[in-house]
Amino acid sequence: MSELLISVRNLHVRFPHRRGAVHAVRGIDLDVHRGECLAIVGESGSGKSVTARTLAGLAGPGVQVRSDRFEIAGRPGPHDWPKLRGSFAGLVLQDALVSLDPLRTVGAEIGEVLRTHGIGNRRDRTARVHRLLETVHVPEPARRAGQYPHQLSGGLRQRALIASAIAAGPPLLIADEPTTALDVTVQAQILDLLAERRAAGETLLLISHDLAVVARLADRVLVMREGQIVEHGPTTELLTAPSHPYTRQLLDAVPSAAARRPRPARNPAGPVVVEARALHKRYGHHPVVTGIDLSVQRGEIVGVVGESGSGKTTVAQMLFGLTAPTSGSVSFEGTPWTGLSERRRRSQRRRMQFISQDPLSSFDPRWSVRRIVAEALPPHPGEPTVEDLLHRVGLTADVLDRLPRQLSGGQRQRVAIARALAPRPSLIICDEPVSALDVSVQAQVLDLLAGIRATDGTALLFISHDLAVVHHLADRVLVMRNGTVVESGLVDDVFLRPRHEYTQALVDAVPTVEVGYPPAMANRPATPIA
């Protein structure tokens, strides 16, 4: 067995809280070996990210950390965390835009790591920065080094963050949900990059709720729930023959075509709820959407997929009336929608609802859940109550008086769905509504949306970069690239028998839970966990 980089026994982490300390990590044992990829999986609140941050000395102020053993590279704590973070462990977080300083160029961000750890001198650090960006496959490294984070795409920002994390040559790379918010092709590129770092001898601690990502990279997996490790073992064994019910629950929740609900009969076809013809949108001389035709019938779920910048969100905004098309038209429930004033749209507006990826930004942070949902209820007797709507989306009355920030991500998304259902709409436009959710919460929300269609006949336009989610849920799908639809049709036809090379590339880039890449250390005995 190879050298131990980290050895922890009986780790407890508690956060101060006005109602008593929150026991986030409860007596776990953890060993990380040099050269392996160890994954920690679990839902939000399971303690996986707290564990990773504790290993890097970033648990936070006032946090109580206790353990029987806490060894880093054979040295018992306490540790000099600022030096260890750069020279022993690099940290890659989910949102590079938040992690990178918006007031500094990417080159300055990476250069600071070199300067802090005394690597190189002032004259050669610029060349070192360029080489690091080249190592993580950033094109035109000299030009990109002079740009700010907001000037880079999501994939390039994540690459720059990885370059910063490896700048001091640490043997351990901690990646906390490094691909969650990325498009499927960019995600594949980042996974390949992490695999390269691992092949170069670095050790990878991967934190994720995405079991397909884990299957692609990890040698061993630890499954956490409520601060404890409930199962562990080699990746192949754990993902193909899990022993704990919670692990099986996570695997069962992974969206797939096989797991989807049967489609309702569609003969005869329902009336068209929304229809777009020859939609174009330009900003200055830059075309964003070019010649889109789209229709959604009553009781139908239509998916729109594509990478960031493909124009799918712009299409949603034009359908909803938030953005006016440069040319083309939209009709809603048989009447013109494009060009109407907001005053004339108001009578129909409640019939079309919108659910975004981040409901927290769409809620008034000062309002309670009760007020958020009640605002959308029609002023007529006999309508469902706020409690009725919350019950329908799986929430209990104890959330009524909570503020949005006091809810979990899954609870906030359920509140957003309850609010969207309140006026009994004929169409709900869903823009990346589950991309930030854990796999089991995601499955619950997808089932909820499918149930709404089945019981109410509500049409859904479902926009996502996650092909597995769309294949699980949708009847038809449109594939967008550079503002145009390159392929469309029944979801099985498009995803199982793609005709366009771009669709084929998207399908090929989707990671699957099947362990298709035998982990390099799969034969290593699992470290006993007490």
Distance of CA 503 to the CA centre of its chain: 21
pLDDT at 272 exceeding the cut of 90: yes
Q: At 33, is the secondary structure helix, strand, or coil?
A: strand
Q: What pLDDT does residue 173 have?
A: 93
30-45 mean pLDDT: 92
DSSP 261: P
- Phi/psi at 478 (nearest 5 deg)? -115, 135
For β-strands 172-176 and 203-208, DSSP reports them as parallel
pLDDT at 523 exceeding the cut of 60: no
Residues in the chain: 530
Neighbour count for residue 138 (Cβ, 10 Å)? 21
**Which has more pLDDT, 483 or 190?**
483
Residues with Cβ within 8 Å of 226's Cβ and at least 6 positions away in sequence, in order, are: 26, 45, 46, 47
Q: What pLDDT does residue 1 have?
A: 52
Q: What pLDDT does residue 345 have?
A: 82
Q: What pLDDT does residue 103 have?
A: 93
Average pLDDT, rounded, for the chain: 87
484-506 mean pLDDT: 96
489-506 mean pLDDT: 96
Q: What is the pLDDT of residues 53-92, one digit of tens each?
A: 898 888 888 899 999 999 988 888 767 777 777 788 888 9
Among the listed residues 435, 473, 478, 469, the one whose alpha carbon sits nearest the alpha carbon of residue 454: 473
Q: What pLDDT does residue 333 have?
A: 93
pLDDT at 265 exceeding the cut of 80: no
* pTM score: 0.78
CA separation for the pair 343, 341 (Å, rounded): 5
Q: What pLDDT does residue 427 have?
A: 96
Confidence of residue 181 (pLDDT cuts 50, 70, 90): low
DSSP E strands, 284-409 = 286-297, 301-305, 327-332, 335-336, 352-355
- Whether a cis peptide bond, with omega within 30° of 0, leads into 82 is no
H runs (alpha helix) in 298-374:
312-320, 342-349, 359-362, 369-374
pLDDT at 94 exceeding the cut of 80: no
